[in-house]
Amino acid sequence: MVLPVILFIVAVLLVFLVLWEAFETIVFPRRVTRRIRLTRFFFGMTWSGWKQIARFLPESRRENMLSIYGPLSLLVWLILWAFLLIASFGLLRWGWAAGKLGLGACLYSSGSIFFTLGLGGQRSLSAFLRFVCVVEAGTGLGFLAIVIGYLPALNQSFSRREVNIALLDSRAGSPPTAEEMLRRHSDEYGMDSIRQLLHEWERWSSELLESHLSYPVLAYFRSQHDNQSWLASLTCVLDAGAFVMVGLEGACTHQAQLTFAMARHTVVDLCLIFGLRPVSNSRDRLPPETLAGMRAGLVEAGLRPRGDKEADLKLSELRSLYEPYLFALSEHFGLGLPNWRPDPEAADNWQISEWRQGAGGRGHF
């Protein structure tokens, strides 16, 4: 008699736990600070294993392997939720009946009720078990309704994120870099263009934080092109904002400060969401010779960057505010960080043709 009672209590607790996890993950729009969570454990374990498997693949196939994880893990997690609810209600029914009903029959009945298919052949039920059937049927309908509403919202957030990332291709190169972003906005209306661009990416950083706070699984959804990602775009925005803050004659320093603050807030909160600590990387993304070359390239494009020792020190201080968080996100998600300067041999994605004809597969504008 003790075992059925224990199973009944465990089943009730498991039902509550799964429903609360679903509420926090799908419905609740705030960051959950509780460290022990089924969702965090599931994605942490499966993502670590998935990355380990991907490391054994050739580099050409590794990115495709990693891109599958986001959509696949989401479907598996939803199926696992449904399975846990069905198993919990089945154990609850079996524990209440004190073993008079077979475990297999209780699980089958639970599954058929959860998906509102019927009572699974069981007719003689007590009043309490009939009440459980009604609760489970309502839970199943509510769960399916939430999933049906969750997937379109997730896809819309992903599409909004990727639209802006795609726009950055012609504005900052592939992958995007701070030098290329500033250089491509160096026409006669360049300073206004840079201010407008930083304003747009301040909003994009805010939307990225909001969407990935509400739907953390979005961070595992990778972009269409291997040389583009939400992390690379965010890095480019932070680099450009920091450089303008240090000093670019005629540029709007105030807008650069606003964009930098929002983008830095985003990377810090994303590290908090995924439980990541800042990483001190030995690789210097902007050694002195690269910085000097960047300034020379911008001067050649008609811009006037500040280049004294005080500017170098301020830029180094600004970089220390966000680069450790970028390194942590890069290491966790397996996403590369762009350089400050573009690769001279790299072509933008819009210049590359899938047919691979003509001049090395590059299209001509």
Q: How much is the average pLDDT of 17-32?
A: 73
DSSP secondary structure code for residue 26 in this structure:
I
Count of CB atoms within 10 A of residue 21's CB?
A: 19
Model confidence at 356: pLDDT above 50: no
Question: Is a pLDDT exceeding 90 seen at residue 326?
Answer: yes
What whole-number percentage of the chain has pLDDT above 70?
A: 89
**Integer Cα distance of 191 and 267 in angstroms:** 26
- At which residue do the structure tokens 């661009």 appear? 197
Mean pLDDT on 340-347: 86
pLDDT digits (tens, 9 = 90+) for 256-299: 999 999 999 999 999 998 889 998 876 889 999 999 999 999 99
Residue 361 pLDDT level (bands cut at 50, 70, 90): very low
pLDDT in tens, 153-200: 888 999 999 998 988 888 898 889 999 999 988 876 778 888 888 999
Secondary structure class of 362 (helix, strand, coil)? strand
Sign (positive or negative) of CA dihedral 16, 21, 24, 25: negative
Around Cβ 18, how many Cβ atoms within 10 Å?
Answer: 21
Rounded to the nearest integer, the mean pLDDT of the chain is 84
**How confident is the model over 41-69, as a mean pLDDT?**
88
What is the mean predicted confidence (pLDDT) over 121-140?
A: 74
Tokens of 197: 């661009």
Token reading at 41: 């454990």
Domain definitions of the chain by residue range:
2-148, 173-343
**What pLDDT sits at residue 345?**
80
pLDDT at residue number 167: 87
Please say whether the beta carbons of 101 and 122 come within 8 A: yes
Average pLDDT of the segment spanning 93-106: 75
- Express each pLDDT in 216-269 by its tens digit: 889 999 988 878 899 999 999 999 999 999 988 877 889 999 999 999 999 999
Burial-class residue 159 by CB neighbours within 10 Å (0-12, 13-18, 19+): exposed
Could you read off the pLDDT of 84-93 as tens digits, one per residue? 888 888 888 8
| In the predicted structure, residue 316 carries a pLDDT above the cut 50 | yes
pLDDT of residue 3: 64
* pLDDT at 293 (0 to 100): 93
Dihedral class, residue 264 (left if φ above 0, else alpha if ψ from -120 to 50, else beta): alpha
pLDDT of res. 359:
43
Question: 129 pLDDT exceeds 80?
Answer: no
Residue scoring higher pLDDT (139 or 238): 238
Instruction: Annotate 113-133 with b (16+ C-beta within 10 A) or e (fewer).
Output: bbeeeeeeebeebeeebeebb
Q: Is the pLDDT of residue 344 over 70?
A: yes
Q: In this predicted structure, what is the pLDDT of residue 124?
A: 57
